[in-house]
Amino acid sequence: MTKLGRELAAQGADIISLSVGEPDFNTPDHIKEAAKKALDENYTRYSPVPGYPELRKAIVKKLKEENNLDYDISQIVVSTGAKQSLSNAILCTINPGDEVIIPTPYWVSYSEMVKLAGGISVFINSGIESDFKISPEELEAAITPRTKLFMFSTPCNPTGTVYSKDELAALAEVFEKYPEIYIISDEIYEHINFVGKHESIAQFDSIKDRVILINGFSKSYAMTGWRLGYLAASKEIAAANDKLQGQTTSGTCSIAQRAGIAAYEGGLESVNKMKEAFARRRQLVYDALSEIDGVKANLPEGAFYFFPDVSSFFGKKDSQGNTIENSSDLALYLLNEAYVATVGGDSFGNNDCIRLSYAASDEKLKEALRRIKLALEKLA
């Protein structure tokens, strides 16, 4: 959808893109200055495979101070984005035929990464009625003797769902019964949380050694292009990731790593300012979606996405007589009719919904929602 939107924009169409999961803010100045300084200081050579010790120490400090999680530097592996950290973790834990439990909706790359590792994705479906959360009973029912890994995100892409400490504790109690199962916890949207303190499933000592925590700098610090992420895990898992990464990409960009140190040492002032803007936009979009007949939306507790149920429009026809059969059809219709780019929910494992990112200015969001409302009203 992003590609199609850019093609239409190149032809002169006034496209508003709500399809990309990228903050619309610039990287904070103190982080950029650290990168410039790194260049001047000639940090231009190969970096250690798991990352500079100074960055890994900053990550250890962050995890202790912000999350009350104790890790050693040997348990941290820095990668070229959280996406590589996810891929590394899957490749280091999954053998062909192993099953990986993934709650839906899920980020599009999860199942494809499992496929690349030869694993089998087992999905637990959830809907808007439960705020897209799974229950402990649903989790346990999905476990088989072949289950090797569970992976999820909180806050979640695409739904904005945030699991509370009690909800995570209930899931942890299930995992206590199955010591052979690893848990990948994708926490890349940690700081974009509108309901209080971020909670990690790694806080539970009974399963901590099996939790592979994934995080990075792209969303919280508006550093998507810097490609800087990391995992925190047991020494065994971290060493395996180090070994794998040494045969693929080696250490990530030296300049980005020095910038990452500045990000974590510079405090959360810039992060909190961005979160305030996202909170305002979230309410703006929720109010606008609530006024559109046929759209069912919940109020997400984190990230910067809405995942409204639009299934009431399936079966309707546009002005050319084309039938809207599914979420991809509706997303394409909104692009061509309203010049607003969204993403069909089928990409995320739930065909009843579409994903809208509100990482855009207030003015663009107001105009985009106005266009969407008019376009949906035209469907017969």
CATH of the domain at 294: 3.90.1150.10
Quickly list DSSP for 358-371.
--S-HHHHHHHHHH
245-259 tens-digit pLDDT: 999 999 999 999 999
286-319 tens-digit pLDDT: 999 999 999 999 999 999 999 999 999 999 999 9
Quickly list DSSP for 215-236.
EESTTTTT-GGG--EEEE--HH
Q: Are residues 119 and 210 in the same domain?
A: yes
DSSP one-letter code for 178: -
Final residue in a domain of this structure, among 239, 265, 291: 265
253-279 tens-digit pLDDT: 999 999 999 999 999 999 999 999 999
Final residue in a domain of this structure, among 230, 265, 300: 265
The domain tally of the chain equals: 2
5-59 tens-digit pLDDT: 888 888 998 999 999 889 999 999 999 999 999 999 999 999 999 999 999 999 9
Q: 320 is in which domain, residue-wise?
A: 2-21+270-377
Q: Are residues 244 and 293 in the same domain?
A: no
Q: What is the CATH number of the domain that holds 180?
A: 3.40.640.10
| Residues 6 or more apart whose Cβ sits within 8 Å of residue 136 | 170, 171, 173, 174
Instruction: Please state, in angstroms and rounded to a whole number, the distance separating the CA atoms of residues 52 and 87.
Output: 21
Q: Is the peptide bond before 155 cis (omega within 30 degrees of 0)?
A: yes
Q: Are residues 143 and 284 in the same domain?
A: no
Q: Are residues 282 and 372 in the same domain?
A: yes
Instruction: Please state, in angstroms and rounded to a whole number, the distance separating the CA atoms of residues 264 and 34.
Output: 12
Final residue in a domain of this structure, among 230, 250, 265: 265
Burial class (CB in 10 A: 0-12, 13-18, 19+), 164: middle
Q: Are residues 98 and 149 in the same domain?
A: yes
Q: Are residues 205 and 297 in the same domain?
A: no
- Of all helices (H) and strands (E), which one includes residue 152? strand 147-153
Q: Are residues 217 and 84 in the same domain?
A: yes
Q: Are residues 115 and 194 in the same domain?
A: yes
* Averaged pLDDT for residues 186-212: 97
- Sign, CA dihedral 303-270-212-93, equals positive
DSSP one-letter code for 296: B
Q: Are residues 196 and 290 in the same domain?
A: no
Q: Are residues 217 and 275 in the same domain?
A: no
Q: Are residues 236 and 295 in the same domain?
A: no
Q: Are residues 231 and 363 in the same domain?
A: no
